[in-house]
Structure 1
Amino acid sequence: MKILFVADGRSPIALNWIKYWAEQNHDVFLASTFPCDPDLPLARVDFLPVAFSRAKSAPAAGSRQKKSLLWGAATIKLRTAIRHWLGPLTLPRSAKLLNKIIAEIQPDIVHAMRVPYEGMLAGTAKLAATAKNLSAQKFPPLLISIWGNDFTLHAPSSPLMRLYTRKALQAADALHADCQRDIHLAEKWGFDASRPSIVLPGGGGIDQNIFYPPIEKKSVPERSGAQSQDDISKKRSSTAPIQPLGLRSETGETLVINPRGFRGYVRNDTFFKAIPLVLEKLPEVKFICPTMAGESQAEAWIQELGISKSVELTPPLAREQLADTFRRAQVLVSPSTHDGTPNSLLEGMACGCFPIAGDLESIREWIKPNVNGLLVDPSNERELADAIIRALNDDGLRVQAIVENQKIIATRAEYGHSMAQAVKFTKKMLRKT
């Protein structure tokens, strides 16, 4: 199969999906909306600037790289607003470039990974090709993936975002979403319900060779290429967990992790304000925040709240490092106001973390309150703090959650199984279009 992905080639979520197809010996092409150099066996990589993606992203912590005009904006919300109101204006020009690439490659399918702006770009290209009196059948079948907040945050944010969201959904021949809620919302935004759709984790699922719960150190399987996934799974299932089902780390620390980083829809203000409330009851608790190193707002909150001894901000962690950190933690916090199915939430659940998340329709597809996690008002620091304290004090609830979440990951989110479903779905889509 010859597949052209339209995606942000820097995104771990997109790359995790694309990797599977490339490793299955398909001819895989990437039209990336940001400059990238992915370490994957791709046939070709092109850069298509859209919504100011020529602008460089914010430099890493400690870097002296000068920020671009866009990323130097005062806040994340302002940067997002600039893209929402002006970004769609860049789509027609980039759509022409995409159609040239499609004419050269002649792929069997175009897969746009998320609606803004990759799905909008591919949808605009398809509609432009059709408007030039070209048969719609000559444009490859278009599959669009929906991610997290495509409809709840981005789509209604400006008149042009609404317009191009509807165009993308009308042009799509099939949809992939990471929650059932977004399939229903897609139909309200113009997707033809008679066309095929599937619900699978956004990045293809959880690699259980990396993301697994704490087990006895002597029983951890060697990560050898000679071992099959079945062999590894059997070994892990036969091992006894550390202090029933990983309730305490090897160091005995009590750790809460917030892996969401700084995004406009994540209430980190609530998270940091909840920390002193937790420390009043449980002063030994530590909090770790991957990807927040160098964030001036986080540093300001830490100083203002006097919690510097209890909070660690780290740079982005490699997947293996992140998995190890999840296994050290007892509780994962995800205080978001918009979401589909966050990959970090599933990864933490796979590693034995007890999840506490914003009470959203999409999250309820994965978390049943008081059974395998807790849901809170993401704007209420007292409610979040009480949930953290309850989870840390209730070993029985955490044991129950670990058992339930291992079942959920194995049946609904395991990478190999999910991607096998994606392949079957794609082939079926091609037969119908």
Structure 2
Amino acid sequence: MDKSVPLSHQSSEMKKILFLAWGYSIHAQRRMQIFVDDPLFDVTIVSTYNYQFPGATIILLSQAHKKQNFERSSHHPAIHKILYPVSLFLKFIQELINIVRDYFILKKTIEQKRPDVIFLQTLMYPCYLILLIRKIAPVIITFWNGDVTWWAKWTGIERLLKKQIIISGIKKASAITVNSIEAKNACIHYGKTAKCIHLIRYPGVDISRFHPIDKASAKIYIGQNAQKIIFWPRGIADYLNFDTLVAASQIVLKKYSNVHFIVLFANKEVDISVHEKLKVKGIEKNYTLLSKIQFEDMPYYYSAANMMISISSNDSLPNTMLEAMACGCPLIMGDIPQIRSWVIDGKNGYLCHVKDAEKLAECIIKVIENPQNINERFILENLTLIKQEVESSKMSKEIKKLVTNVSLKTTELI
């Protein structure tokens, strides 16, 4: 293929692309949106969630529909004890039925649509069903959320199975996209040649959406008037080390009582337990717990905040980090290899050990006190980094070029 020829002229035919996506994910939605918005691609999405893209064909799998409920009832404890194993067995049978049903839905869709490329957003369910289907179009896999760097590590029966899925998927893929050198090396370790693995950090950051907004205006927009705001946007799963933040906040609030923490996570039941924990510690008034923030509102939260904190024990390339950078929000990140590729301690943010509450408190206080206007240097460094490395229009061109080349069976890239 002549690389000097623009992509749109390399093949005048519309490319048919079939996406397999797990549940709802804003990341998967934004990645698929790139192709839905391009008239050169005919997009079909097979998922357990109805993404409702205008112009795309949406095929819903079993979990998108209401399933039979075998959850715990209000039976007497003795009766529940007897019925619980039965309910587990019924759930297992229902899951098997769903898997078989979804397999045939996917197989039929592929036969009818005859896509040029099948694009998997991770190898979580239902994406790994593709491994059961023979004689299909070329497969591209985008690995994310640490799929190959920590999700597939062998630490028991469950992860052993996941590891085998990853290995099988890597072998079947015509091309793989990753967002970090570490993930690329992991794919090579699992047996894929380097020329098949592409470091494309799509969808990237849309700097027309994510950019600095006047702090006072942003605070008004999100309804917060605290003098200092700390944004924690990634949830409270164990690997995110929310307990470290809580412990650090107790230290910080002894010195700066006007600091407010905004915590985002998508679980209302957890909301109650977390609020009770904060109440016991006497700091619940310094926390706002949000189960959801609209995507279009995220730039206002980054801009209103004095810092964004994410101290995950395992990571790949968190979009929240990139978005915060683009919005001029200083960062405190976990001191782990994947993050060190983007944040240099004291140069464009702060790094701290993910379990060290005292160190985290020290970093928070540094951002609050802003010695020698270091925050402003962080902001300038990060704005430049985003424009150079992950600006969305560049990333979109790269991923579209890869898909087109794979569909044309271009050996040079596959």
Give 1:89 deviation, angstroms.
Answer: 11
Paired with 1:328 and 1:211, the residues of 2 have a C-alpha distance of 13
Partner of 1:28, secondary structure, is strand
Partner of 1:117, secondary structure, is coil
Matched, 1:19 2:19: no
Which residue does 1:228 correspond to in 2? Answer: none
Which residue does 2:79 correspond to in 1? Answer: none
Paired with 2:66 and 2:237, the residues of 1 have a C-alpha distance of 18
Paired with 1:144 and 1:403, the residues of 2 have a C-alpha distance of 34
**TM-score using structure 2 length:** 0.80
Task: Mark the CA change 1:418 to 1:400 in structure 2 (over 3 Å): closer, same or farther.
Answer: same
Partner of 1:313, secondary structure, is strand
- Give the root-mean-square deviation of aligned CA atoms: 3.0
The more displaced of 389-398 and 89-98 is 89-98
Which residue does 1:147 correspond to in 2? Answer: 144
Which residue does 1:270 correspond to in 2? Answer: 244
> Contact (CA 8 Å) 1:290, 1:314: kept in 2 or not?
yes
Paired with 2:359 and 2:65, the residues of 1 have a C-alpha distance of 41
Match of 1:321 among 277, 280, 297: 297
Output one character per residue of 1:64-114: Cα deviation in whole Å (capped at 9) or x when no partner.
Answer: xx9957xxxxxxxxxxxxx9xx99998677445422221111001011011
Task: Mark the CA change 1:250 to 1:265 in structure 2 (over 3 Å): closer, same or farther.
Answer: closer
Paired with 1:326 and 1:88, the residues of 2 have a C-alpha distance of 43
Paired with 2:285 and 2:387, the residues of 1 have a C-alpha distance of 37
Which residue does 1:117 correspond to in 2? Answer: 125
Paired with 1:185 and 1:54, the residues of 2 have a C-alpha distance of 36
Alignment of 1:258-297 (within 5 A): 258-291=232-265, 294=268, 295-297=271-273
> Contact (CA 8 Å) 1:109, 1:143: kept in 2 or not?
yes
Paired with 1:342 and 1:88, the residues of 2 have a C-alpha distance of 33
Alignment of 1:299-318 (within 5 A): 299-318=275-294
Which residue does 1:211 correspond to in 2? Answer: 210
Match of 2:370 among 373, 377, 394: 394
Amino acid at match of 1:415: S
Segments of 5+ residues of structure 2 without an aligned counterpart are 1-14, 73-90
Paired with 1:88 and 1:377, the residues of 2 have a C-alpha distance of 42
Amino acid at match of 1:24: D
Amino acid at match of 2:379: I
Output one character per residue of 1:94-146: Cα deviation in whole Å (capped at 9) or x when no partner.
Answer: 44542222111100101101132354333x13xx41xxxx5xxxx21110001
Matched, 1:44 2:29: no
> Contact (CA 8 Å) 1:116, 1:165: kept in 2 or not?
no
**TM-score using structure 1 length:** 0.76
Task: Mark the CA change 1:216 to 1:349 in structure 2 (over 3 Å): closer, same or farther.
Answer: closer
> Contact (CA 8 Å) 1:23, 1:41: kept in 2 or not?
no
Segments of 5+ residues of structure 1 without an aligned counterpart are 57-65, 70-82, 221-248
Amino acid at match of 1:340: S
Which residue does 1:31 correspond to in 2? Answer: 46
> Contact (CA 8 Å) 1:211, 1:323: kept in 2 or not?
yes
Larger Rg: 2
Which residue does 1:3 correspond to in 2? Answer: 17
Give 1:380 deviation, angstroms.
Answer: 1.6
> Contact (CA 8 Å) 1:4, 1:31: kept in 2 or not?
yes
Partner of 1:5, secondary structure, is strand
> Contact (CA 8 Å) 2:200, 2:398: kept in 1 or not?
no
Give 1:151 deviation, angstroms.
Answer: 2.3
Amino acid at match of 2:25: S
Partner of 1:158, secondary structure, is helix
